[in-house]
Amino acid sequence: MQIRQPEIPHIVFLFSDTGGGHRSASEAIIEAIELEFPNQITYEMVDLFRDYAPPPLNKAPEIYPPLSRIPAAWSFGYRQTNSPRRIRNINNVAWPYIRRSIYRLMEEHPCDLIVSVHPLMNTPVLRTLRNRRNPFITVVTDMVSTHAAWYDNRADLIIVPTNIARENGIEFGIDPEKIKVVGLPVADKFCHMKEDSQEIRQRLGWPTDLPVILLIGGGEGMGPLEKTAHAINDAHLNAALVIIAGRNRDLKDRLEKHNWNMPVTIYGFVKNMPDLMQASNVLVTKAGPGTISEACIAGLPIILYSKMPGQEDGNVDYVVNEGAGVWAPEPEMVVQTLQKWLREPELRWQTASACRRIARPQAAREIARILAARVGITHPE
Ligand code: UDP
What tens digit of pLDDT does each residue of 276-314 get? 999 999 999 999 999 999 999 999 999 999 999 999 999
Judge whether 159 and 175 are in contact, CB under 8 Å: no
pLDDT at residue 7 in the model: 85
Query: What single-letter DSSP state applies at residue 37?
Result: S
Q: For residue 2, name the pLDDT band (cuts at 50, 70, 90).
A: low
Q: How far is ligand 1, taken at its centre, from the CA of residue 175, in Å? A: 31
Q: Which atom of ligand 1 is nearest to the CA of 22?
A: 24
Q: Which atom of ligand 1 is nearest to the CA of 68?
A: 25
Is 189-358 a domain of CATH 2.30.110.10? Answer: no
CA nearest 278: which of 262, 294, 264, 293? 294
Kindly tell me the sign of the dihedral angle through the C-alpha atoms of 215, 221, 223, 228.
positive
pLDDT at residue 1 in the model: 60
Q: Which atom of ligand 1 is nearest to the CA of 246?
A: 8
Is 10-186+361-374 a domain of CATH 3.90.226.10? Answer: no
133 compared with 377, residue with greater pLDDT = 377
Q: For residue 381, name the pLDDT band (cuts at 50, 70, 90).
A: low
User: For residue 158, what are the β-bridge partners?
Assistant: 138, 179
Whether residue 64 has pLDDT greater than 90: no
Nearest CA to ligand 1 atom 10: 291
Query: What single-letter DSSP state applies at residue 145?
Result: S
Residue-wise pLDDT tens digits, 140-176:
999 999 999 999 999 999 999 999 999 999 999 999 9
Residue-wise pLDDT tens digits, 219-247:
999 889 999 999 999 999 999 999 999 99
* 223 Cβ closer than 6 Å to some ligand 1 atom: no
Q: Which residues contact 143 (CB under 8 A, 6 or more apart)?
A: 161, 162, 165, 184, 289, 292, 293, 314, 315, 318
* 275 Cβ closer than 6 Å to some ligand 1 atom: no
Residues carrying CATH 3.40.50.2000, the chain: 10-186+361-374, 189-358
* 124 Cβ closer than 6 Å to some ligand 1 atom: no
* 20 Cβ closer than 6 Å to some ligand 1 atom: yes
Residue-wise pLDDT tens digits, 200-213:
999 999 999 999 99
